[in-house]
Amino acid sequence: MIRVLGCHGSIAARCHTTAFLVDDDILIDAGSGVGELRLDELARIDHIVLTHSHLDHVLSIPLLADTVIKLRQGPAGLTDLRPIHVHGLPETLEALRRHVFNGVIWPDFTRLPSAARPILILHELQVGDELLFPARGGLPDRRIHVLPAAHTVPAVGYAVETPKGWWVFTGDTGPNPALWLALQGKRISELVIETAFGNEEAHLAQISGHLSPQSLAQELALLDGEVSVYITHPKPGEVPAVLSQIRALDSRHLIEPLREGQRFHQVRHPEDTL
């Protein structure tokens, strides 16, 4: 199951930044929405896959690490600590090392509570990779594909295999022809795509590597067939206006706002075929 923890571009009451929980142990991005999880739910997170390094997508990682150290100790204490594995582009991981876990903004939890047994272990990935997360607690193995994104910093999107097809999350992106090439021939169950600005701020979308309704419509024209489209990353309070502008430009797809707390279907066993 995929649970939406946060889907806004900034914060307000009951509005959180980007985070998705896959089953009960994988986070896709770690924005402020992670704070919606209970303590026991936080302790079950084993993996975080990051789209890019911007604060609204990574800000919960240092707090999560600090929160769960004691909860993730085994019978032998710190010598039996279960780490959290953080996956991202090399540039994303380097940004975390240099600008977050630097002893100034936050302690270096890639070396704490000890260099031998840290709570965070960083893993590099690349566009085109297929991540396989093993079964745990009765959950089947999960496959997540790394997709191209076009943003102001190195960035990716992800596709989670589900029984109905690929659940696709673009991450933060502007116009992105490489994404549609990567998705050709794939059965897409849902497309979660960002639209951070309304048409009146299309110039801001362009210079900041985001989409506006008019550029989104051009992107969706490159998508094969009719797909359920969910809009993410608008600012709090701007969702109705952005949705109205999108629907005025695209009548081919079912377009809905992504909602925090929304849940999508079970992820797929790798032996199944799409």
Weakly modelled stretches of the chain, pLDDT under 50? 269-274
Do the strands 47-49 and 26-30 form a parallel or antiparallel pair, or are they unpaired?
parallel
Sign, CA dihedral 245-246-248-249, equals positive
pLDDT of res. 240: 94
pLDDT of res. 75: 79
pLDDT of res. 269: 47
pLDDT of res. 104: 97
pLDDT of res. 141: 86
pLDDT of res. 250: 85
CB 2 within 8 A of CB 22: yes
pTM of the model: 0.94
Give the separation between CA 51 and CA 88, rounded to whole angstroms.
7
Q: Hey, what CATH class is 2-264 in?
A: alpha beta
pLDDT of res. 196: 96
If one counts every other C-beta atom within 10 angstroms of the C-beta of residue 170, the result is 26
pLDDT of res. 143: 96
Q: Could you tell me which of 189, 249, 254 has the C-alpha nearest to residue 213?
A: 249
pLDDT of res. 270: 43
Give the separation between CA 66 and CA 106, rounded to whole angstroms.
10
Tokens 């991540």, located at residue: 131
Q: Could you tell me which of 61, 80, 55, 57 has the C-alpha nearest to residue 70?
A: 80
